[in-house]
């Protein structure tokens, strides 16, 4: 399908760094962008053509966004799906589709959909009591350790608790609200590597799949992404096929991220799916011809995709807040003695410990060189609160 040049106004729900990076690509292509976000000083504010300052549960704000725009997309999934469904039923264009959003929003229904369509996932089940967790912890069921999750709203480790032993289960259950919220339990995967794949699907069903990224986390927050992933060709091929299958399952238009585990036995299991651009895809900005944000905008407007091949080995490292207070970046001048370093700051006024404040990338002819340069920059760059 050719791009519809009459649809020039894009609405984005969420004004964080992902929304900001979407806008940068949309503006380059001449689109008018309206952001919906409750924070006046959100990262997207300064580059939005319009900013609707309202809560993400404000029904009227969604209606206003729909009236002002031709297409609506979103930068995170914990939003008001019921209102979006009403708007979609009235003919408003929303990508990825509300159908896929509603399934993915709930981690349990997401896993069900994947499993029922033959996508490999860890064993999982709903739990509504401590006794239910104990039953799954028996060796003939899942066995300990168990990962306990809230089915709604979790991100960056929030909403997750690990029960290593039966004695830990009560603490995990209490931490997650003692059954106040719907919970699920998953078998704990003692993985060899965590990987992710960014994939995009167009209005005509065409798909492009980016290279496999290898990820490491600190405190359940993404720390480093390296591409290409240090995996055998067999595993890369398997993971890529699984990501393509996920795109087929959800039939969503736009950019998706498929997070996966690689086990010690070289099995690949899907952990979670995000119906949007993703932190682990930031490497594509410098590492690929067309980055995840550009191809997202191309997808939702019906434009053909850009190349997703890796130009050179790339390393991305997140800049996380190290203390609370007014945000201050330290070490930029020294770090920029490496002329190939790319620093991205998100424009967040306040630093909080572990908050994502920015990221940087290094591209080099070899992965070892890229990693060495990235680690030197890591030692110099810090975001603190003053």
Q: What are the DSSP calls for 33-99, one per residue?
A: EEEE-S-TT-TTGGG-SEEE---TT-HHHHHHHHHH-SEEEES-S-S-HHHHHHHHHTT-EESS-HH
Q: What pTM was computed for the model?
A: 0.94
Question: How many beta carbons lie within 10 A of that of residue 267, not counting itself?
Answer: 14
Q: What is the pLDDT of residue 1?
A: 39
Say which residue the tokens 């300990």 belong to.
Answer: 144
CATH number of the domain where residue 209 is located: 3.30.470.20
Residue 54 lies in a domain: yes
Question: Would residue 371 count as lying in a domain?
Answer: yes
Helix (H, G, I), strand (E, B) or coil at 23: helix
Q: Summarize the confidence of residues 20-34 as an average pLDDT.
A: 97
DSSP state of 280: G
Is residue 108 included in any domain, yes or no? no
CA 197 to chain centre: 10
282 and 178 both lie in a single domain: no
Domain that holds residue 143: 123-187
- Which pLDDT score is estimated for 3? 52
Whether the Cβ atoms of residue 253 and residue 201 lie closer than 8 Å to each other: yes
Same domain? For 261 and 363 the reply is yes
In a domain, 262, yes or no: yes
Q: Tokens 């039953």 map to which residue? A: 135
Domains contained in the chain, number: 3
Where among 73, 94, 115 does a domain terminate?
Answer: 94
* pLDDT for the residue numbered 7: 62
The whole-number pLDDT of residue 251 equals: 85
How far apart (Å, rounded) are the C-alpha atoms in residues 294 and 284? 10
Closest CA to 280 of 252, 258, 261, 262: 258
pLDDT digits (tens, 9 = 90+) for 144-203: 999 999 999 877 777 889 999 988 888 988 988 877 889 999 999 999 999 999 999 999
268, part of any domain: yes
Query: Using N-to-C axis directions, what is the helix angle for 107-116 and 98-105, rounded to 10°?
Result: 110
| CA dist., res. 327 & res. 347, Å (int) | 9
Could you tell me if 273 and 227 lie in one domain? Answer: yes
pLDDT in tens, 93-152: 999 999 999 999 999 999 999 999 999 999 999 999 999 999 998 877 899 999 999 999
Angle at 187 between CA 182 and CA 193, to 5 degrees: 115
DSSP-derived letter for residue 220 is: T
CATH for 134? 3.30.1490.20
Say yes or no: 25 and 127 in one domain.
no
CB 99 within 8 A of CB 120: no
């Amino acid at each position: 399908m050719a791009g519809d040049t009459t649809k020039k106004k894009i609405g984005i729900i969420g004004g964080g760094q992902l929304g900001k990076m979407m806008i940068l690509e949309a503006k380059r292509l001449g689109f008018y962008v309206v952001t919906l976000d409750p924070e006046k000083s959100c990262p997207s504010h300064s580059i939005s053509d319009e900013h609707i300052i309202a809560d993400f549960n404000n029904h009227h704000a969604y209606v206003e966004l729909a009236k002002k725009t031709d297409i609506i997309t979103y930068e995170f999934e914990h939003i008001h799906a019921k209102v979006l469904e009403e708007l979609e039923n009235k003919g408003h264009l929303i990508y990825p589709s509300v159908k896929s959003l509603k399934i993915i929003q709930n981690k349990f229904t997401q896993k069900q959909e994947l499993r029922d369509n033959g996508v490999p996932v860890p064993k999982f089940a709903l739990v509504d009591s401590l006794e239910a967790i104990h039953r799954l912890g028996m060796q003939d069921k899942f066995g300990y350790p168990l990962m306990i999750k809230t089915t709604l709203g979790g991100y960056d480790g929030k909403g997750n608790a690990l029960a290593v032993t039966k004695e830990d289960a009560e603490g995990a259950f209490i931490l997650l609200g003692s059954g106040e919220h719907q919970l699920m339990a998953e078998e704990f995967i003692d993985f060899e590597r965590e990987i992710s794949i960014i994939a995009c699907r167009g209005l005509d069903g065409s798909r492009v799949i980016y290279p496999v990224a290898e990820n490491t986390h600190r405190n359940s927050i993404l720390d480093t992404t390296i591409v290409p992933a240090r995996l055998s060709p067999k595993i890369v091929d398997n993971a890529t096929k699984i990501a393509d299958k996920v795109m087929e399952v959800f039939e969503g238009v736009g950019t998706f991220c498929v997070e996966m585990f690689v086990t010690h036995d070289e099995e690949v299991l899907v952990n979670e799916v995000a119906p949007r651009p993703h932190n682990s895809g930031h490497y594509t900005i410098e590492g690929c011809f067309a980055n995840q944000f550009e191809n997202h905008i191309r997808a939702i407007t019906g434009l053909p995709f850009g190349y997703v091949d890796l130009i050179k080995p790339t390393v991305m490292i997140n800049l996380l807040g190290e203390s609370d207070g007014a945000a201050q970046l330290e070490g930029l001048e020294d770090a920029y003695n490496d002329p190939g370093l790319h620093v991205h700051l998100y424009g967040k006024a306040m630093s909080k410990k572990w908050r994502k404040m920015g990221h940087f990338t290094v591209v080099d002819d070899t992965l070892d060189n890229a990693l060495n340069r990235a680690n030197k920059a890591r030692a110099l760059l810090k975001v603190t609160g003053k």
